[in-house]
């Protein structure tokens, strides 16, 4: 029997569909193909803050995700041990971003499970380039030579480096008036205010507001889904847990 779609279920479906479109998991003909999860340094995304009213944060908990098998195989092939924090974190992020072996969506065709922007990963992959330009002539996302190297960039240059304080300055965490306006418009937690140059050990909350900024993502839903997924292995983890405390686990 077909499942009855109640209003909450319709809302969840639409929210997930929007997230998938933004990440390139769902391709549409009119898409500019320019949205991203991984935020670039002090991007122009704050132009979105001209919205007349601030978006409301979702108070609804997002469900845990089951990392897809092909992504786990990529992480194992890249040298990461199943069951470790970095393995589980990368598997959840890559699954959220839509990576799936054989798929034609952006993260899959670019061998880029984390949907990372830029091409400053030459130390990990000498052959990394920017993806081909989209219909608007934009080239924003990295295209790695293999999915293993793309996974390594996610783990080494995002999860591990950012956990230790080597994260970028963006509209989400910058000190300028423009950055303050962005945070006010997009309801960014106070924990992000002005930390761009402080190089602190990031919490889960801070990591994902930088990684998946709210002007382009459902950041609160992302955080909730990641936390619910990680709790299976790390029951005490919360959005305020520091990533560095789990790197060796």
pLDDT value of residue 19 = 53
pLDDT band at 21; cut points 50, 70, 90: low
Question: How many angstroms from the chain centroid is the CA of residue 21?
Answer: 14
Helices (H), the chain: 7-23, 69-77, 85-97, 106-109, 147-153, 161-163, 177-185, 204-211, 219-230
pLDDT value of residue 114 = 97
Is 240's pLDDT higher than 50?
Answer: yes
Percentage of the chain with pLDDT > 90?
A: 67
Q: Considering only residues 50 and 62, tell me which one the structure prediction assigns the higher pLDDT.
A: 62
pLDDT value of residue 38 = 60
Nearest alpha carbon to residue 124 among 89, 95, 141, 149: 149
Is 13's pLDDT higher than 80?
Answer: no
pLDDT digits (tens, 9 = 90+) for 58-81: 556 788 888 889 999 999 999 999
CA distances from 164 to 82, 128, 208, 213 (A): 22, 24, 15, 20
Question: Per-residue pLDDT averaged across 13-26, rounded?
Answer: 51
pLDDT digits (tens, 9 = 90+) for 126-168: 999 999 988 888 899 999 999 999 999 999 999 999 999 999 9
pLDDT digits (tens, 9 = 90+) for 187-233: 999 999 999 989 999 999 999 999 999 999 999 999 999 999 999 99
Q: Considering only residues 185 and 39, tell me which one the structure prediction assigns the higher pLDDT.
A: 185
Among the residue ranges 46-55, 99-108, 134-143, 154-163, the one predicted with the least confidence is 46-55
DSSP string, 217-233: S-HHHHHHHHHHHHTTT
Q: Is 2 helix (H, G, I), strand (E, B) or coil?
A: coil
pLDDT value of residue 185 = 97
Classify residue 160 by its DSSP letter. Answer: I
pLDDT value of residue 52 = 38
Interhelix angle 7-23/219-230, nearest 10 degrees: 100
Residue-averaged pLDDT of the chain: 83
Where is 142: in which H helix or E strand? Answer: strand 142-143
Question: Per-residue pLDDT averaged across 27-44, rounded?
Answer: 44
pLDDT band at 37; cut points 50, 70, 90: low
**Cβ within 8 Å of residue 245, ≥6 positions away:** none
pLDDT value of residue 10 = 45
pLDDT band at 237; cut points 50, 70, 90: very high
């Amino acid at each position: 029997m077909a499942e009855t779609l109640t209003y909450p279920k319709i809302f969840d479906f639409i929210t997930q569909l929007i997230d998938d479109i933004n990440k390139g998991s769902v391709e549409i003909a009119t898409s500019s193909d320019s949205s991203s999860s991984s935020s670039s340094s002090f991007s122009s995304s704050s132009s979105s803050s001209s919205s007349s009213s601030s978006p409301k944060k979702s108070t609804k908990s997002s469900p845990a995700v089951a990392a897809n098998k092909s992504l786990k195989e990529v992480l194992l092939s890249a040298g990461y041990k199943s069951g470790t924090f970095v393995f589980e974190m990368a598997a959840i992020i890559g699954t959220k971003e839509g990576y799936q072996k054989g798929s034609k969506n952006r993260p899959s065709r670019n061998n880029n499970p984390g949907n990372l922007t830029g091409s400053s990963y030459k130390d990990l992959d000498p052959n990394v380039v920017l993806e081909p330009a989209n219909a608007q002539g934009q080239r924003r996302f990295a295209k790695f030579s293999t999915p293993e190297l793309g996974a390594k960039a996610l783990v080494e240059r995002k999860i591990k480096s950012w956990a230790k304080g080597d994260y970028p300055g963006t509209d989400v965490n910058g000190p300028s008036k423009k950055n303050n306006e962005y945070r006010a418009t997009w309801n960014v937690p106070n924990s992000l205010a002005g930390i761009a140059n402080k190089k602190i050990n990031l919490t889960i909350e801070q990591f994902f507001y930088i990684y998946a900024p709210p002007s382009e993502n459902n950041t609160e839903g992302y955080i909730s889904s990641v936390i619910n997924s990680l709790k299976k292995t790390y029951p005490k983890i919360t959005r305020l847990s520091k990533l560095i405390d789990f790197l060796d686990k």
